[in-house]
Amino acid sequence: MLLTLTTMHRPATDLGYLLHKNPARCQSFPLSFGQAHVFYPEVAEDRCTAGLLLDVDPVAMVRGRGGVSQTALAQYVNDRPYVASSFMSVAIAQVFGPALDGRSKERPELATTPIPMCATLKVLPCRGGENFLYEVFQPLGYEIDAVRYPLDEQFGEWGQSPYYSVTLSKSTTLSDLLTHLYVLIPVFDNFKHYYVGNEELEKLLKHGEGWLAAHPKREAITHRYLKHRHSLAREALARLAEQDDQPDENLVESRSDGREDSLEKPISLNERRLGDVVSALKSCGAKRVLDLGCGEGKLLRELLKEKQFEAIVGMDVAFRSLEIAKERLRLDDLPSRQEDRIQLLHGSLMYRDKRFAGFDAAAVVEVIEHLDPPRLAAFERVLFEFARPATVVLTTPNREYNVVWPNLAAGAFRHEDHRFEWSREQFQTWARGMSERFGYTVEFRAVGPEHADFGSPTQMAVFQKAEAGHG
């Protein structure tokens, strides 16, 4: 059973520091169920791959413990030596422990920086079918390449096996990648090689922190990880639900340093932006409007003032922000007619959601730059293909304008949680691509004072659904 980890980060050989394993040497580690070998099949400046090969000894497994209820033959003849299973998770934790925890003595910063990574599992048993593979890894932002193996190459009529070779690619920290593999590999398998109890539950919650609670397949993952021990799974899910109520550090705009606010203050860009968004929404004649990534509800407050908008729905992934929005808008105290006009939804732009359908217009204000680039693809479909409002008003910072701000260090983003900031050309290329792909027209507007060379601080695109075609 082989797991390979590849990076294209430069210098790619830093992978050795991240894994705490010297690329120049082949190393072996004895584990209770066999032997683990670490070696580097490719080592170059622009691409480096580490392999973790498990040599599982089925005989040692049988000797080691009793109580595996299988027929005698199946104890010795089984797929354990050849497939990725919880053995691989144990090996990851034991052989790559510091990397799993995000620690690196030599490259501490790189250990917490997303870099282009790709993991290949040579044989992953996908019980539950190929769909499950996509359902589990796609929401985490991975690109997935899966190739199914036939049961026996010499006997095509026997059909397909449940085994796949799977490659997962993403710009991610090595620690996140290993964590996902650690938790999810056993989820695809039919059995675990040891009894699950409270310790497993704690491991699941520890390694699932920050991603499992919001995962659409969290229930299936939890049940399978805990070997369908229902009481354990129930407890795990209840505790995950609590976690999910905390604002997600990765997604929530943290205002702790107030940097974005104070930078933009002199020109009150925020107000200009809201004003421009409201007028774009008004002029398209929208009655039912959606504010995707509404945050603490600043736009919602402006929308409520306009009678034209009969139904106003704010959505955000951060539960805490929604609570603040609810307080600020005094939703509990609104007269009932007003109250019926507005609704807050806890959701995510990463997942298709029926509740987003049926609106005349959607605003997506200063949100896309908070999304990891590999996850933009999911967002694009959620918005333009599934929610599919007649009008989309979307804003994002114009990176070129940053040089105009004296307080912003060269090359820095306006906010620490921004994953990217686009130039006008980048934004327009993206937006035109969206309009062509999904049957919209698009028009660009400047928001805020325009600089002759660098344009305006905020850029806005207004998309209109084309009448013919996509429907």
Residue 123 phi, psi dihedral angles, 5° rounding: -135, 105
- In whole angstroms, the minimum distance from the beta carbon of 102 to ligand SAH comes to 22
- In whole angstroms, the minimum distance from the beta carbon of 328 to ligand SAH comes to 12
List helix spans (H) across 246-369.
259-264, 269-283, 298-304, 319-328, 336-339
By Cβ distance, which residue is nearest to ligand SAH? 295
Report how far residue 71's alpha carbon sits from residue 93's, in angstroms, rounded to the nearest whole number: 30
Residue closer to ligand SAH, measured from CB, 236 or 274: 274
- In whole angstroms, the minimum distance from the beta carbon of 134 to ligand SAH comes to 18
459 binds ligand SAH (CB under 6 A): no
Residue closer to ligand SAH, measured from CB, 124 or 318: 318
Residue from 298, 399, 414, 465 binding ligand SAH (CB under 6 A): 298
348 binds ligand SAH (CB under 6 A): yes
176 binds ligand SAH (CB under 6 A): no
- Interface region with ligand SAH, contact rule CB under 6 A, candidates 75-83, 93-101, 148-156, 343-351: 343-351
Report how far residue 67's alpha carbon sits from residue 392's, in angstroms, rounded to the nearest whole number: 60
Residue from 115, 232, 290, 294 binding ligand SAH (CB under 6 A): 294
Residue closer to ligand SAH, measured from CB, 293 or 448: 293
227 binds ligand SAH (CB under 6 A): no
Report how far residue 16's alpha carbon sits from residue 328's, in angstroms, rounded to the nearest whole number: 50
Residue closer to ligand SAH, measured from CB, 233 or 362: 362
Length of the chain: 471
316 binds ligand SAH (CB under 6 A): yes
Q: Which of residues 350-409 bind ligand SAH (CB under 6 A)?
A: 350, 365-367, 370-371
- Interface region with ligand SAH, contact rule CB under 6 A, candidates 116-124, 316-324, 423-431, 460-468: 316-324
- Provide the Cα torsion 244, 246, 248, 254; round to 10°: 160
User: Which contacts qualify for 254-260: CB closer than 8 Å, 24 or more apart?
Assistant: 254/416, 254/417, 257/416, 259/414, 259/415, 259/416, 260/414, 260/415
349 binds ligand SAH (CB under 6 A): yes
- In whole angstroms, the minimum distance from the beta carbon of 397 to ligand SAH comes to 11
Residue closer to ligand SAH, measured from CB, 175 or 321: 321
- In whole angstroms, the minimum distance from the beta carbon of 350 to ligand SAH comes to 5
Please give the radius of gyration of the chain, using alpha carbons only, rounded to the nearest integer. Answer: 25
- In whole angstroms, the minimum distance from the beta carbon of 315 to ligand SAH comes to 6
Q: Quick count: other Cβ atoms within 10 Å of Cβ 381?
A: 15
Q: What is the DSSP string of 389-405?
A: -SEEEEEEEBGGGGGG-
251 binds ligand SAH (CB under 6 A): yes
Size of the site for ligand SAH (CB under 6 A): 19
Which of the 8 DSSP states describes residue 84?
-
118 binds ligand SAH (CB under 6 A): no
Buried b (16+ CB within 10 A) or exposed e, 31-40: bebbebbbbb
- Interface region with ligand SAH, contact rule CB under 6 A, candidates 141-149, 171-179, 315-323, 338-346: 315-323
- In whole angstroms, the minimum distance from the beta carbon of 251 to ligand SAH comes to 4
- Provide the Cα torsion 209, 415, 458, 302; round to 10°: 60
- In whole angstroms, the minimum distance from the beta carbon of 430 to ligand SAH comes to 17
Sign, Cα dihedral of 291, 297, 301, 302:
negative
Say which residues have a Cβ less than 8 Å from residue 291's Cβ, sequence separation at least 6. Answer: 299, 300, 303, 312, 313, 314, 315, 362, 363, 365
Residue closer to ligand SAH, measured from CB, 87 or 379: 379
Residue from 141, 295, 397, 457 binding ligand SAH (CB under 6 A): 295
- In the three-class reduction of DSSP (H, G, I as helix; E, B as strand; rest coil), residue 272 is classed as helix
252 binds ligand SAH (CB under 6 A): yes
Residue from 200, 253, 264, 400 binding ligand SAH (CB under 6 A): 253
Report how far residue 215's alpha carbon sits from residue 212's, in angstroms, rounded to the nearest whole number: 5
CB 100 within 8 A of CB 179: yes
Residue closer to ligand SAH, measured from CB, 226 or 378: 378
Largest CA distance in the chain: 80
Site residues (vs ligand SAH, CB under 6 A):
251-253, 293-295, 298, 316-318, 321, 348-350, 365-367, 370-371
